[in-house]
Structure 1
Amino acid sequence: MIVFMTMRGFADTLEPFLRDWGPSLASDVTIIDYEELSSMRVLPPAAYVFADLERLSAHGTRQAAQVQAAIRSQAPDALILNDPDRTLCRFELLAELHERGLNPFRAYRLSETTTPARFPVFLRYEHDHTGATSALAADQDELDRAIVRALVRGHSLRDLLIVEYVETSSDDGYYRKYGAFVIGDRIIPRHLFFDTEWVVKSPGLRDPGKVEEEMSYLHDNPHAGQLSEIARLAQVQYGRIDYSVLDGRPVVWEINTNPFVITGRDQQVPGNLPRQGFFVHQFSEALREISTTRAGKGEVVLPAFDRLHVSPSRFGSLKGVLRRRKRRLLPMISIAERVAMVFRRPILALWNRHIARRRES
């Protein structure tokens, strides 16, 4: 048995796989959302995966760590994947990779500074997987405008990162984004996406040459050793490493601890089935090994705690309201942006004073 713990509403990352591709594993996999834990008394004997760690609030992470401690004390033989106390989430991981010379770029919390060391940069959320929330900013003025625009559009500034841009396009003009799963001590290549734009979030170009290149990546697993090193550094045993390659080495953008595994069979293009089947076989084999050989022998009595909370600034915030009412609010947002740009300097001065007060406290 494997118990996956996820945020509420994010179990769909695994469900299509279990339904359409790995039905023989469905009885061996249980998905529990973190919010359920407060109403549960015991966890079944299993191996345990703490997913979605980057989406948890600090309070939620502490509660997850209490669950992990209960597992370790009561079922010491059970495998735990992603220790809430040790796994590095996005900002900490990017800082560590840069410090060790493994990544050529830095990230900055907008709650700590508005002035990066170099440009261009872009904004992105620290705690979700939506990618860049701004265009590239070539200088401080463009970054200031992007910050104010993000504020007007309902983004929480304290949850945003400033990320230095790295040019990773190949000689053929294409950007390549690689994705590889970490499952235990295995590295399993998942996909290779191509695009002519620097933000690469979907398969995009699928000409025969690109398909062949992706199949070679899936079969050869060329970066397995380097990715294993990165996973050990991040203390991640389940997730997907998203990265590009520069000068022969991976440049890591993030590790998603609750990655989408695969879409249902009814959404597959026939030409993709060999590629998908190759991945599914390896993924299923890795889960089966963990379920049959690394599960604990007894139930785990859970500690008593209040319902686990996520950060309200990340979920259910003004950003969500604006998204739901985007069409009606668009003219108002446009006007608000123009007004805010006129006053961007005093707005940013207020934010920088807030940063300074936090440093002093």
Structure 2
Amino acid sequence: MRALGKFEPAVQGFAAAISAGATGAPVLVALGNCLAELGRLEEATTWFARAAPDDPSGRALANLASARARLGQNALAIDAARAALRCSPELIDAHRTLAVLLAGSEPESAAAHREVAFRNGPVFVRPGPQDALRVLVLTCLAEASLPIEHLLPNARYALTDWFIDHPVNHLPHLPPHDLVFNAIGEAELMPPLDGATIGFLAGGLPVMNRPEAVMRTGRTSLPALLAGIDGLVVPPVLRVAAGEIPVSIGLPALVRPVGTHGGHGLRRVETAEQLTAASHEAGDKYLSRFIDYRSDDGYYRKYRMIFVDRQVYPYHLAIGPHWMVHYWTAGMDLDPARRAEEARFLDDPVTVLGSAAFEAVSAVGRRLDLDYAGIDFSILPDGRVLVFEANAAMLVHPEREAEFAYRNQAVQRILDAFADMLERRAGRGDHRAPAGDPAEVTQRPRSLAR
């Protein structure tokens, strides 16, 4: 079942085997791998940790490090990866985890780990089913790539990962493929492309999310890109270096360290003195004016919609009492009324947003001109759309918790639309795969992106 990419029945089979006494490290690691493929990372770490003491190969620890990194538990991930290398110094996954996580704090060590991880080149092949669509995935070592396990499940596609930020003297050998998907979604972290790569991308094969289009979606360039769309509010964003004092950003203002995600380090400053103090802090940062988007009921609402082939699909609605709204900290799990409002949005976004706002969001998808992207926004009291960000780095995944199962129909619409787009671009028509078969990627180098 695991080899066929059918991870749910594989989990059940491994669990039954363990209950019957098959408790060796390979079985525990295999169960952890299947759980990781299903996005059940916390459960996966339990089995990897349980297997580690009886696994002299270090594979359990390497997989534990990868799962910890995906959960954002960086210190624990570093410890596990280093322990894995004490068992087997050549474990590529452990070296790659350390190359990513040590890049900021220990750049020389990170570079050494990177050299080992890519000793045999920057291309990693993941065979798929017979006659599967062959997709070349552009990715990078930096935390800039979109996790693709749900968009490009290895149970359906034959995948080749090409880490284009690893320097080589010539274009690497690439196996045959039907199309290219650029999974690097963070504009600010897009690695520079050498002439050979640029020439390759200019060839005849379809390229989804072309790098030059992604580059236009950075925080500072997005307001100009979306300028002129009726009903849209896109606050200007400045990037400032330490000690640089802005004079025209307005107050209150939002301060966000460059290179952070998920609201880490984001804060609101109310006074000129607070803004000046923030500007003198170490590191580059983004500054933008804060626009109050609270609704009459006291809640803040952040909508996310996904663009597939420039068509818009609803993904989620987070409703919370704090101005910095994130889905998993907004308290949606505690309030059936808010979940019911989200369900109405997923079922009929035009009615919930209003036709003018829906058209404004749709226009954003056309202006971005990306094959896959997303937008986070709210609706101001006057009906205009307040844009927080719009880029190609927004994750879509099914929900496992029962109270959020109502979201999965909307999720599947997005995944189906993405699969259909790839089939059309490859000239194969509509060949939909069964729902719920995530990619099998634990054993290969993968992105640690959000």
Distance 1:104 1:291, change over 3 A: closer
Question: Which residue is 1:280 aligned to?
Answer: 411
Unaligned runs of 5+ in 1: 298-361
Residue 7 in 1 paired to residue 135 in 2? no
Q: CA deviation at 1:208?
A: 1.7
CA root-mean-square deviation: 3.1
The answer to whether the Cα contact below 8 Å between 1:68 and 1:83 also exists between their aligned partners in 2 is no
Q: Percent identity?
A: 22
Q: Which of 317, 331, 337 pairs up with 1:205? A: 331
Task: Give structure 2 stretches of 5+ with no counterpart.
Answer: 1-132, 351-356, 429-450
Taking a change above 3 Å as real, the CA distance of residues 46 and 290 of structure 1, as seen in their structure-2 partners, is farther
Do the aligned partners of 2:165 and 2:192 also contact (CA within 8 Å) in 1? no
Among 366, 381, 389, the alignment partner of 1:232 is 366
Q: Is the 8 A contact 2:229 2:360 kept in 1?
A: no
Q: Which structure is higher in RCO with an 8 Å CA cutoff and minimum separation 6? A: 1
Query: Does the 8 Å CA contact 1:187/1:224 hold for their aligned counterparts?
Result: no
Identify if the C-alpha distance between structure 1 residues 237 and 66 changes in structure 2 by more than 3 Å, giving closer, same or farther: farther
CA distance in 1, matches of 2:249, 2:137: 40
- Residues 253, 290 of structure 2: 8 Å contact kept: yes
Residue in structure 2 matching 1:193, options 318, 326, 341: 318
Q: Matched residue of 1:13: which SS?
A: coil
CA distance in 2, matches of 1:252, 1:66: 36
2:303–2:317 Cα contact (<8 Å) kept: yes
Tell me the TM-score normalised to structure 1 length: 0.66
In 2: Cα distance, 1:167 partner to 1:131 partner:
17
Cα distance, 1:94 vs. partner?
2.5
Secondary structure of 2:212 counterpart: coil
Matched, 1:46 2:174: no
Q: Which runs of at least 4 in structure 1 moved beyond 3 Å after TM superposition?
A: 1-4, 9-12, 22-25, 28-33, 35-39, 55-58, 65-69, 95-101, 125-128
Q: Is the 8 A contact 1:182 1:240 kept in 2?
A: yes
- Does structure 2 retain, via aligned residues, the 8 Å contact 1:28–1:291? no
Indicate how the Cα distance of structure 1 residues 66 and 273 shifts in structure 2: closer, same or farther if over 3 A, else same.
farther
Alignment match, 1:87 = 216
Change (3 A) 1:242 1:190: same
| SS of corresponding position for 1:49 | strand
Judge which range, 35-44 or 203-212, deviates more. Answer: 35-44
Shift of 1:177: 0.7
Q: Which residue of 1 aligns with 2:420?
A: 289
Correspondence list, 1:104-253, <5 A? 105-111=235-241, 114-131=246-263, 133-148=265-280, 150-151=281-282, 156-157=283-284, 160-203=285-328, 204-206=330-332, 207-222=335-350, 223-246=357-380, 247-253=382-388
Q: Distance in 2 between matches of 1:23 and 1:66?
A: 28
1:105 and 1:11 map into 2 onto residues whose CA distance is 25
Closer, same or farther in 2 for the Cα pair 1:123/1:171, shift >3 Å? same
CA distance in 1, matches of 2:378, 2:363: 16
CA distance in 2: counterparts of 1:36 and 1:273, whole angstroms: 40
Relative to total residues, which structure has the larger helix share, 1 or 2? 1
